[in-house]
Amino acid sequence: MYKKRLEEMNLIDDFLMNAATTDQEVGEACCRCMLSVLLQRKIDRVHVISQRFLPGAMPGQRGIRMDVEVTEESDDGSGLIANVYDMEPHTANDMDFPRANRFRQAKTDGRYMKSGDNEFKHLPDLYVITIMNFDLFKKGYMIYDFRTTCIQDPAIPYDDGLYRIYFNTTGTKGGSQAIKNMLNYIQNSGSVSAVDDATEELEGYVHKVKTDPEVRRSIMTFGDIIDREKKESSKNTLVSCIGDLLEDIGGATDEIVDKLGTVSKEENLKYLHKLAARAESMETFEKSLDEVLEAEAKKFDEK
């Protein structure tokens, strides 16, 4: 399968979007530039969370891979997070996006409420931003902005802090010239598309990233990194669930947790998860754990 070279990539491409927005030097400024134009308001103090895999809450449950997550501090000086922006570029109409974004929203929100916190006013506003190079809704708009409303009376205010916004780089209706310029640059990232202050600023960031030797090297291992993150996240979830089950029979010691972390095969962790659910004592579980580790070590020695 043909793979784009870094020079050929645009911001609508997953790798370049992630590389530009998480760059140590220009990542935050890059996010501020795009978000300020797309949302038509000033974006101030932000922190960018790099691409990673969020596992399901339990074994067998689906996780998600986050592309670009940006948090914005409150302007009251408290240091609290006021807004979260989940930016996802897409170049293929290959899923049920409304339901997929509903799932992403649930996974994202769950990480911004601390255990025991019943004050839901602490939950930051969430902007699920999907940027596409096709018109999902086929109405010709640059922006499709969805909010929660009352069917019986849309005038009733219902502010749940959730904003679902789809940007269509091929759209011609709605929006402003500044948004149109920004979407065109995201679709066609190069000096020719840098036609105003914002896109010229963004071109500087993109040029810096495209000529960075470290970024050039990382593109070769990008897929491997994502696969490894998924595998590690799945294993960590299993270890955590095993620990929760063992609480009923006295709780896992630090030594046992360390041993669980050394189990190399996911199927063995799934086996230990089943054992933990019915183990009568920590001693019997630890014996089974040691047997699994011994079997893995034996197979390794035989190779």
Same domain, 104 and 238: no
Same domain, 73 and 97: yes
Contact 185/133 with Cβ under 8 angstroms? no
- pLDDT at position 250: 83
Instruction: Tell me, yes or no, whether 119 lies in a domain.
Output: yes
Same domain, 30 and 130: yes
Q: Which one of 187, 220, 253 terminates a domain?
A: 220
Same domain, 90 and 160: yes
Same domain, 73 and 162: yes
- Residue type present at position 62: R
Instruction: Tell me, yes or no, whether 33 lies in a domain.
Output: yes
Q: Which of 35-49, 141-155, 188-202, 221-235 has the lowest mean pLDDT?
A: 221-235
Same domain, 255 and 112: no
Instruction: Tell me, yes or no, whether 171 lies in a domain.
Output: yes
Q: Which of 39-43, 113-117, 176-180 has the lowest mean pLDDT?
A: 113-117
Same domain, 278 and 192: no
Residues in the chain: 303
- pLDDT at position 60: 47
Same domain, 260 and 155: no
Q: Which one of 173, 189, 220 terminates a domain?
A: 220
Same domain, 235 and 199: no
- pLDDT at position 62: 47
pTM of the predicted structure, to 2 decimals: 0.69
Section 285-302 average pLDDT: 82
Instruction: Tell me, yes or no, whether 213 lies in a domain.
Output: yes
pLDDT class of 66 with cuts at 50, 70, 90: low
Same domain, 53 and 126: yes
Phi and psi angles of residue 257, each rounded to the nearest 5 degrees, phi first: -60, -40
pLDDT class of 165 with cuts at 50, 70, 90: very high
Same domain, 233 and 216: no
Mean pLDDT of the chain: 84
- pLDDT at position 57: 47
Q: How many domains does the chain have?
A: 2
- What tokens were used for 283? 């001693």
Instruction: Tell me, yes or no, whether 20 lies in a domain.
Output: yes
Instruction: Tell me, yes or no, whether 1 lies in a domain.
Output: no
The count of other CB atoms within 10 Å of the CB of residue 302 is: 6
Q: Which one of 189, 220, 251 terminates a domain?
A: 220
- Give the residue numbers spanning the domain of 149: 6-220
Contact 55/236 with Cβ under 8 angstroms? yes
Phi and psi angles of residue 82, each rounded to the nearest 5 degrees, phi first: -95, -40
Alpha carbon distances (Å) from 69 to 21, 52, 87: 9, 10, 6
Same domain, 49 and 126: yes
